[in-house]
Amino acid sequence: MQKYNKPPQAVHCFCFFRVFCGAMAFINLNGKLIEQLQPVLQADNRSFRYGYGLFETILVNDSGIQLKDYHWKRLWAGMAQLQFSIPKHFTPSVLEAEVLKTVKKNKQEALSRVRLQVFPGNGGLYDGDNYNPEYLIECFPLEPHIIELNEAGMTVGIAQGLVKSNDSTANLKSCNALVYALASRQARENKWNDALIVNNTGHIIETSIANVFWVKNSKIYTPPVSEGCVAGVMRAYILDIAAEKGLEITLKPLSVAELMEADEVFATNAIRRLKWVGNIDDRAFKCNEIKRICSIIF
């Protein structure tokens, strides 16, 4: 199982490692492979200007995209909500082929993290009518322990001064990620592995990179998406597979007080799968039920 011996500032170093080691990395812009360090965006890019766009963080393992149906379902639902004009040739099978092409070019088929960003054409808020999806694919190598259950529990805190609005876009994995970026910075400054985020009613809804589950009296809970959390693909997969395996998971809002009274807490996302939260402030949490849950689901 994975050990959390270092604060999370060591996590996001993959692209720098490749550059420093002299390995040439490639990205994929609308189907064209180009060197990573080449400029790719115009000044009026809507994703850069307004955070107008979506992204998927995808695990590639043994040359295959994990949870791909969940990723494509969420991405296409998000593009419909943001009113993209989706041409007939823009399909999940096309994106899957481009993702695997990019991973292969970078020789990372064994295990890697892929960031697929989709954004509309260039222009201002009110001018232009190009809302066809464009895309950028990046990939980063992973170590096997990333997808394993951690032996030492993560240290997590509650982000201060940040509130995520529970509006119609709250469940999207959008390019507007300012709350998460600031929460992540608080985590680094406080030497946490991650930071919890609250909504505008003060409920805990997620972390800066993951959905949240908790266990109380051997019962499993997670906040409903109506609370404003991102509709995570690993969250959706766990809910589906739990029903098949006879694990009951209840959707319930999570107050700070209820979180601190939980027996166990874990976080999930598509890359790290399931991670045990060992401490929040001075409160320690066990990992007995989490080990059982992990063995059933994976």
Residue pLDDT tens, the chain, 298 long: 555 544 433 333 333 333 334 467 999 999 999 999 888 888 888 899 999 999 999 999 999 999 999 999 999 999 999 999 999 999 999 999 999 999 999 999 999 999 999 999 888 776 767 889 999 999 999 999 999 999 999 999 999 999 999 999 999 999 999 999 999 999 999 999 999 999 999 999 999 999 999 999 999 999 999 999 999 999 999 999 998 999 999 999 999 999 999 999 999 999 999 999 999 999 999 999 999 999 999 8
pLDDT (0 to 100) of residue 8: 39
Do 141 and 160 sit in the same domain of this protein?
no
1 assigned to some structural domain: no
Residue indicated by tokens 């849950």: 293
| Helix%, strand%, coil% for the chain, nearest 5 | 30, 30, 40
71 assigned to some structural domain: yes
pLDDT (0 to 100) of residue 211: 98
Please give the radius of gyration of the chain, using alpha carbons only, rounded to the nearest integer: 19
- The H or E element that residue 117 is part of is strand 111-119
Do 94 and 208 sit in the same domain of this protein?
no
In angstroms, how far is the first alpha carbon of the chain from the final one?
Answer: 13
- Yes or no: say if 149 and 132 are a contact pair by the CB < 8 Å rule: no
Residue 169 belongs to domain spanning: 154-297
What's the CA gap between 116 and 224, in Å, rounded?
25
Which residues lie closer than 8 Å to 176 by C-beta, 6 or more apart?
A: 50, 51, 52, 169
- Yes or no: say if 233 and 78 are a contact pair by the CB < 8 Å rule: no
Do 40 and 77 sit in the same domain of this protein?
yes
pLDDT (0 to 100) of residue 41: 83
Choosing from 128, 145, 162, the residue where a domain stops is 145
Which CATH number belongs to the domain containing residue 203 in this structure?
A: 3.20.10.10
Do 132 and 249 sit in the same domain of this protein?
no
Do 209 and 259 sit in the same domain of this protein?
yes
Choosing from 126, 145, 164, the residue where a domain stops is 145
**Strand pairing partners for 140?**
113
Do 202 and 242 sit in the same domain of this protein?
yes
| Side-chain half-sphere CA neighbours of 220 within 13 A | 21
Q: Residue 81 in 3-state DSSP?
A: helix
pLDDT (0 to 100) of residue 124: 78
Q: Residue 229 in 3-state DSSP?
A: coil
pLDDT (0 to 100) of residue 260: 97
pLDDT (0 to 100) of residue 1: 52
Taking CA atoms, 85 is separated from 94, 207, 268, in Å, by: 16, 32, 32
2 assigned to some structural domain: no
Choosing from 145, 176, 194, the residue where a domain stops is 145
What's the CA gap between 147 and 41, in Å, rounded?
32
pLDDT (0 to 100) of residue 123: 81
Which residues lie closer than 8 Å to 259 by C-beta, 6 or more apart?
A: 196, 204, 214, 265, 280
Taking CA atoms, 246 is separated from 160, 249, 277, 294, in Å, by: 37, 10, 24, 14
- The H or E element that residue 56 is part of is strand 54-61
